[in-house]
Structure 1
Amino acid sequence: MRTDERRARISEVRRRLAQEGPAWTRDREADFETVAVPARRCDQLRDLLVFEAAQTVVEVGLAYAGSALAIGEALVVVDAPCPRHFVIDPLQESVWSNVGWDLLCAAGLDSIASLLLAPSSLALPQLLTEGVVADAAFVDGSHRFHEVFVDLYFLRKIVRPGGLIVVDDYDAPSVRTAVHYYERNLGWTAIPDAFPGDAAAAVAAGPSAAEPSAAQASGTGPGDAPAARCRAFRLPDLSFEPSFENFHPFWDSGG
């Protein structure tokens, strides 16, 4: 199947998901709308990964597969020889009734995606042990501070120097505080315009070094979308371990 045909198949699954919702949802009011990354943000995530020419992506959290479909579409557009998408979700079968994985299969993305049904605290070390090197990661799993912190700890070792880590729900204090440690102590740099319209998060993040983004490259302006919750961070070009004597407080007392 040609790249344009594969992308058309993915786009149709994404379109139906955005317009009609998934075939199954948990018995909670507006659960899909609450849990899923908005379609516009998924488009921006796709464009960012295409701009970065990502070939291997690790994703924490699958649920209804909105972001996973966008990541898969990006990998198809980049058209690398051996694209890989590692998706971690220990609850995909037990809580989500495989609805997200079924959508990836319907889009034909099971040919490049691998589903790991283990907690990220176990799955990420496994990927590290196997020597997986990723160009980018998308984090939307547990929102507990300690679990986000551990996800970022391992992803820093898996994502190549200069690669990207994208965090969903950065507006949650627990998530934002975990990220702040890596910004202030390990040289992660926020990409301010990766998700146009995310003005609230930009203010919360504080000053960052500016760099060209996929959104800028595609001509999308910062006023074109409502405020959202996603933030992208670039890892330093060289990995390093700071001295314990150079510790910088990272707690955001403003919440």
Structure 2
Amino acid sequence: MRSHRGGVVSMTGTAERVTRVREVRRRLTREGPPRTRGREQDFETVTLPERHCDQLRDLMISEGAEKVVEVGLAYAGSALAIGEALAAVDRPRARHVIIDPFQEREYSNAGWDLLRAAGLDSIATLMLTPSSIALPRLLTEGFIADAAFVDGSHRFHEVFVDLYFLRKIVRPGGLIVIDDDWWPSVHTAVQYYERNLGWTVIPEAFPGEAIGVGPQDERETRCKAYRLPDPSFEPSFQDFRAF
């Protein structure tokens, strides 16, 4: 497993750490990332909008999240928001595990460098392997998260596999947040877990105007947050509900 691990926190005090992260977030919104892949409007297309990042941050803070798994880093918009939440909550064992096999070879570490500039490399780990490999390793290591944010591959089978492992990694009653739920491939994968495994939508997590069109042509929000059941359970194959 290839990874980057952070060093020692250089700033003291929760307020100072949060301020540092916010400054990097504002700079990213105002100026864009230090490097892009060279595709037209790539940053604007790939990055979670600032409003959604703020909502993601507030959700993580309200949960008191200490350990978070994120699939997909790119230009670090969502990662900085999660990092701000972890800095604000200020738990002693805060950890942010980020999985992105393309960070070095496609993004030239633009997102990781922003996290370092924000001082978040002290709590963040970047796994440079596909999520289908990284997530089973986390599970084998016994890693337990309070929440996860999923914005990796949008292929149905890969989203489905990510969610399969994340439901075993995120604690019962924890959160899994999905980006681009309005894409039919993503939406359909999530529907299995909602209909068969008791995942429940948190409707107030991402308020605002719907911006996408779902698989049945209904208006959909970009992000959805799901609460995992507590206790967790395994359904009978006889109780399968088509999705």
Q: TM-score, normalised by structure 1?
A: 0.87
The match for 1:182 among 172, 185, 193 is 193
User: Structure 2 vs 1, CA of residues 201 and 33 (structure 1 numbering), >3 Å: closer, same or farther?
Assistant: closer
Write out aligned runs for 1:94-109 (5 A). Answer: 94-109=105-120
Structure-2 residue corresponding to 1:223:
none
Structure-1 residue corresponding to 2:135:
124
| Contact 1:56 1:135 (C-alpha < 8 Å) held by counterparts | yes
Structure-2 residue corresponding to 1:220:
none
Structure-2 residue corresponding to 1:249:
242
Residue 196, structure 1, aligned to residue 207, structure 2: yes
Where 1:154 maps in the other structure, the secondary structure is helix
| Mapped partners of 1:19, 1:151: distance in 2 | 32
| Pairwise CA distance, 1:199 | 4.0
Structure-2 residue corresponding to 1:135:
146
Residue 238, structure 1, aligned to residue 226, structure 2: no
| Pairwise CA distance, 1:23 | 1.0
Post-superposition CA distance 1:104-160 (Å, at most 9, x none): 000000000000000000000000000000000000000000000000000000000
Q: TM-score, normalised by structure 2?
A: 0.91
Structure-2 residue corresponding to 1:63:
74
Unaligned runs of 5+ in 2: 1-11
Write out aligned runs for 1:1-255 (5 A). Answer: 1-199=12-210, 228-250=221-243
- Which stretch shifts more, 192-201 or 120-129? 192-201
Report the identity percentage. 71
Post-superposition CA distance 1:14-52 (Å, at most 9, x none): 000001100111111100000000011000000000000
| Contact 1:58 1:134 (C-alpha < 8 Å) held by counterparts | yes
| Contact 1:201 1:231 (C-alpha < 8 Å) held by counterparts | no
User: Structure 2 vs 1, CA of residues 91 and 183 (structure 1 numbering), >3 Å: closer, same or farther?
Assistant: same
Amino acid at match of 2:226: F
Unaligned runs of 5+ in 1: 206-226, 251-255
| Contact 2:182 2:214 (C-alpha < 8 Å) held by counterparts | no
| Mapped partners of 1:181, 1:58: distance in 2 | 21
User: Structure 2 vs 1, CA of residues 26 and 49 (structure 1 numbering), >3 Å: closer, same or farther?
Assistant: same
- May I ask how many residue pairs the two structures share in their alignment? 229
| Mapped partners of 2:113, 2:121: distance in 1 | 9
Where 1:232 maps in the other structure, the secondary structure is strand
| Mapped partners of 1:158, 1:198: distance in 2 | 31
| Contact 2:144 2:170 (C-alpha < 8 Å) held by counterparts | yes
| Pairwise CA distance, 1:186 | 0.2
Structure-2 residue corresponding to 1:212:
none
Where 1:150 maps in the other structure, the secondary structure is helix
Amino acid at match of 1:230: C
| Mapped partners of 1:231, 1:185: distance in 2 | 17
